């Protein structure tokens, strides 16, 4: 049987900004998901990239004194570098300025231009736009949504300043798609998550949709509209198309990547860009006659020490800085463990230190160190012989062999913190087991039982190590090396006794997994 395909995406990042941990957050969640599905045996495609057209990027290029192309070439590299610095396993990295994205955007445009909207009218038409636009959000706003600021300035609900725009524009007849969208949400209750976001979107659509301006004429940095090159496409159109451009759209026949991976299983996005992914994107796809993605999950925003990350406050944390301070896998763990995915949450140094010490150094680190050191000292540095299992032994092992199943449910709901909590519950059971059986005291009194207890602990650690790989790949690979687990026995299909540790296998000298963070006074 061929493997099941699984396609997960991140938003593509605007290159006007340096990457900060808010950006790394979305891609990390996608990385954990992709790695998890690979270990489950799925045929995974994990996509990320950069969003390089539009007024915002063009303005940043002017400010930097270079052409938009030079600017985007340089800054896109900063996002690409995240793959190495955060150990992301993306299968592709797409830039919207690449020929493949431009070709896909133009093909989608043509497909929409030939389409008839549900009201029987053409899906695209030429008109003239006059209204409010926020360059920072690259979004149009209704007058009713705006707040007044000083000196007649107006602001979008996001806080971005808006400006009045009047220019010829092509429109997408979004107003005709409301019912079709509502029917789609209704029959696909898992399409938008969490539920609070789903409710927001449904009430937004029920409130009535306006046609969407999808081209601009007042600046040139974008994808030319086919057949009318005075216009460039609205940046969100050529951004959203990246998800199918990377699969080779408009080639869609049997044997293509599109055929293999579309529809996407999961678009991960931040809460600020839900509307684009759950209203505009599905409507474009309906018009073009393409299948809908299966799920859009919107996560919350991270703050730093209680404050919004901003250029003016200068408090953004670069992903590399996080890795330097806490270590790579520690940083990955912290971002996933602390905040329930979907909620807003804060990153603070104090919490980070507490969690590294409590969960990593004293938690899994200590359990592994105690077990491996005892095996080293008391069992000749080989996987010990085991005798009959007690009920307690079997209970712990059953929990360990089963762990990936409950974790899979959490991962499929994007509840990463709950997945970690479930894994830590088994680590806690391992701690209780080692304390209850006190293998260090059995050396003289019952060495046979000591060997069985240490076998059970090592086998439990093997399972924990396998299930934790998506979150902390490097460190768990170190742990599995220390348990002499061969590389081809590290997927979920090896979570059973038959593929378990082999008594007598030689083990290397144990090494600590996670050093404690000791803060010197005044630091
Ligand atoms: N280019 C668009 C996305 C196009 S997708 C077809 C865009 N780019 S962005 O760079 O501004 O934001 C990308 C993602 O980063 C968004 O999902 C946004 O929510 C996320 N984050 C930016 N700052 C963030 C935090 N402080 N915290 C968490 N995520 C945040 O929007």
Ligand 1 lined by 14 (C-beta under 6 Å) = yes
**What domains can you pick out in the chain, each with its CATH number?**
5-299 (3.40.50.620), 350-494 (1.10.730.10)
What burial letters (b/e) apply to 115-139, b meaning 16+ CB within 10 Å? bebbeeeebbeeeebeebbbbbbbb
- CB contact set of 75 (below 8 Å; sequence gap of 6+): 15, 16, 18, 50
Return the closest-CA partner of residue 116 out of 289, 244, 276, 279.
Answer: 289
- Separation between Cα atoms, residue 262 and residue 412, nearest integer Å: 18
Q: Which of 13, 27, 158, 223 is the pocket-test mutation for ligand 1 (most atoms within 8 Å of CB)?
A: 13
Ligand 1 lined by 462 (C-beta under 6 Å) = no
Take atom 12 of ligand 1 and give the residue whose Cα is closest. Answer: 13
Ligand 1 lined by 12 (C-beta under 6 Å) = yes
65, 91 contact by CB (below 8 A): no
Can you list the alpha helix ranges (DSSP code H) found in 248-348? 257-261, 274-275, 281-288, 319-326, 328-337
Structure tokens at 423: 């894994």
- Separation between Cα atoms, residue 207 and residue 199, nearest integer Å: 12
pLDDT tens, the chain, 523 aa long: 579 999 999 999 998 878 999 999 999 999 999 999 999 999 999 999 999 999 999 999 999 999 999 999 999 999 999 999 999 999 999 999 999 999 999 999 999 999 999 999 999 999 999 999 999 999 999 899 999 998 889 999 989 999 999 999 999 999 999 999 999 999 999 999 999 999 999 999 999 999 999 999 999 999 999 999 999 999 999 999 999 999 999 999 999 999 999 999 999 999 999 999 999 999 999 999 999 999 999 999 999 999 988 777 788 899 999 999 999 999 999 999 988 999 999 999 999 999 999 999 999 999 999 999 999 999 999 999 999 999 999 999 999 999 999 999 999 999 999 999 999 999 999 999 999 999 999 999 999 999 999 999 999 999 999 999 999 999 999 999 999 999 999 999 999 999 999 999 999 999 999 999 998 765 4
Q: Which of 15, 18, 23, 335 is the pocket-test mutation for ligand 1 (most atoms within 8 Å of CB)?
A: 23
Can you list the alpha helix ranges (DSSP code H) found in 114-194? 178-187
- pTM here? 0.96
Ligand 1 lined by 418 (C-beta under 6 Å) = no
**Cα 472–Cα 476–Cα 480 angle in degrees, nearest 5:** 165
pLDDT of residue 16: 81
């Amino acid at each position: 049987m061929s493997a099941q395909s699984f396609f997960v995406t991140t938003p593509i990042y605007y290159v006007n900004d340096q990457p900060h941990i808010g950006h790394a957050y979305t891609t990390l969640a996608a990385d954990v998901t992709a790695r998890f599905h690979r270990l489950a045996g799925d045929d995974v495609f994990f996509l990320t990239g950069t969003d390089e057209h539009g007024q915002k990027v063009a303005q940043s290029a002017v400010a930097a004194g270079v052409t938009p192309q030079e600017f985007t070439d340089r800054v896109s590299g900063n996002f690409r570098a995240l793959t190495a610095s955060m150990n992301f396993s993306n299968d592709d990295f797409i830039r919207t300025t690449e020929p493949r994205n431009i070709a896909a955007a133009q093909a989608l445009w043509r497909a929409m231009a030939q389409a008839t909207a549900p009201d029987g009218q053409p899906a695209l038409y030429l008109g003239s736009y006059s209204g409010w636009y926020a360059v920072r959000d690259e979004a149009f706003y209704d007058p009713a949504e705006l707040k007044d600021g000083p000196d007649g300035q107006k602001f979008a609900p996001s806080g971005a300043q808006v400006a009045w725009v009047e220019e010829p524009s092509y429109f997408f007849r979004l107003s005709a798609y409301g019912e079709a969208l509502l029917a789609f949400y209704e029959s696909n209750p898992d399409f938008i998550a969490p539920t609070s976001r789903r409710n927001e979107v449904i009430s937004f659509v029920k409130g009535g949709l306006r046609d969407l301006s999808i081209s601009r004429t007042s600046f040139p940095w974008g994808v030319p509209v086919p057949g009318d090159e005075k216009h460039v496409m609205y940046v969100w159109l050529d951004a959203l198309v990246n998800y199918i451009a990377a699969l080779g759209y408009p080639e869609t026949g049997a044997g293509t990547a599109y055929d293999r991976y579309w529809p996407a299983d999961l678009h991960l996005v931040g809460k600020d860009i839900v509307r684009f992914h759950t209203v505009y994107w599905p409507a474009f796809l309906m018009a073009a006659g393409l299948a809908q993605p299966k799920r859009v999950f919107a996560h919350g925003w991270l703050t730093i020490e209680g404050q919004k990350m901003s250029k003016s406050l200068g408090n953004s944390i670069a992903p590399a800085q996080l890795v330097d301070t806490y270590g790579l896998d520690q940083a990955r763990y912290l971002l996933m463990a602390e905040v329930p995915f979907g909620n807003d949450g804060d990153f603070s140094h104090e919490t980070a230190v507490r969690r590294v010490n409590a969960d990593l150094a004293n938690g899994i680190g200590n359990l592994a160190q105690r077990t491996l050191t005892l095996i080293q000292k008391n069992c000749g540095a080989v996987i010990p012989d085991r005798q009959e299992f007690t009920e307690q032994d079997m209970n712990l092992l059953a929990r360990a062999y089963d762990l990936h199943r409950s974790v899979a449910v959490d991962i499929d709901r994007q509840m990463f913190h709950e997945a970690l909590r479930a894994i830590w519950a088994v680590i806690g059971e391992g701690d209780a087991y080692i304390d209850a059986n006190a293998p260090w005291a059995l050396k003289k009194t019952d060495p046979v039982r000591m060997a069985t207890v240490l076998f059970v602990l090592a086998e439990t650690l093997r399972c924990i190590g396998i299930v934790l790989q998506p979150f902390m790949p490097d460190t768990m690979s170190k742990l599995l090396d220390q348990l002499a687990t061969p590389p081809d026995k590290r997927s979920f299909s090896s979570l059973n006794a038959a593929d378990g540790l082999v008594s007598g296998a030689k083990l290397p000298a144990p090494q600590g997994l996670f050093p404690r963070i000791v803060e010197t006074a005044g630091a």
